[in-house]
Amino acid sequence: MAMQVDSVFVWVNDLETSLNWYETIGFTAGPRYGPWQSMEVGGEVAFALHEGIREPGMSTSVTAFLVEDLEGSIQRLAEQGIRPSDQEITDTGTARFITFADPDGNEIQLLERPE
């Protein structure tokens, strides 16, 4: 199962404060989609800030890995005893993904983009 990093997003409490901080260290603001602020960092990996309240124990960042076959990838992991933390695939219209948690609770997503 070949994967590459597709995107990373970081949950923040105050989007404007965090946006200013990331711009100060050299990132450039891209398009904003509601509570999501995309950031231009170069390369093909997307980086975004997400404003919102996190549940206690919730991961503060998410790394999404691009896969070609989402269902096949889920099945291969299930065969090894690795189950998604959320059993439903989310379809945003521009991507389909499912979330797993690593042993420390960090969120990892497998993401498939339509061709």
Condensed to tens digits (0 to 9), the pLDDT of residues 68-108 reads 999 999 998 888 888 898 789 999 999 999 998 876 677 88
**Three-class DSSP category at 8:** strand
**Three-class DSSP category at 108:** strand
Domains of the chain: 4-112 (3.10.180.10)
Report d(CA 27, CA 91) in Å as an integer.
Answer: 28
Half-sphere exposure of 63 (CA within 13 A, CB side): 9
CB 32 within 8 A of CB 38: yes
CB 97 within 8 A of CB 38: no
Condensed to tens digits (0 to 9), the pLDDT of residues 27-58 reads 899 999 888 899 887 778 888 888 887 778 77
Condensed to tens digits (0 to 9), the pLDDT of residues 4-28 reads 888 888 888 888 998 888 888 678 9
Within the chain, residue ranges assigned H as helices are 15-24, 70-78
